[in-house]
Amino acid sequence: MLGGINNELFFKSFSGFIVVGILALILRWAFSGNKSLIEKSKQVGSDEEYGLLKVAHSPKNHIEGEIMRQKLLAVGIKATLSQTRTGPKILVFEEDLKIAIATLEN
């Protein structure tokens, strides 16, 4: 008791503000994105370093590769054009590999 008055309700409500403030700080820290002003250098990998993606075609340059990628997208195959150590490659998932190769040969 402070000054002869029961302050239990005051302390309970005040502790609620403290808890909300701590949660706000934790959430602000947890959801703050990477705000680094320095861009990370891009790493170029080999053909085998792309996980589930397999090489469907090796175009001569990125312009030809983008045209082929758009052709695959028009057929309904998800494709990625990526720069590897041996040049640009069109990468697709393994279950679409045979269809992609057949589409790009025509």
Report yes or no on 42 lying in a domain: no
- Same domain? 51 vs 28: no
Q: What is the pLDDT of residue 78?
A: 94
Helix (H, G, I), strand (E, B) or coil at 54: strand
- Same domain? 101 vs 63: yes
Whether the model clears a pTM of 0.85, i.e. scores above it, the answer is no
**Residue range 5-16, pLDDT digits in tens:** 777 777 777 888
47 DSSP 8-state letter: G
**Residue range 63-99, pLDDT digits in tens:** 999 999 999 999 999 999 999 999 999 999 999 999 9
- Same domain? 68 vs 28: no
- Same domain? 96 vs 60: yes
Which residues face 82 on adjacent strands? 89
Q: Which domain holds residue 57?
A: 47-105
Domain count, the chain: 2
Name the percent of the chain lying above pLDDT 70: 95
Q: How far apart are CA 45 and CA 84, in angstroms?
A: 5
- Decide if 37 contacts 60 (C-beta within 8 A): no
Residues in the chain: 106
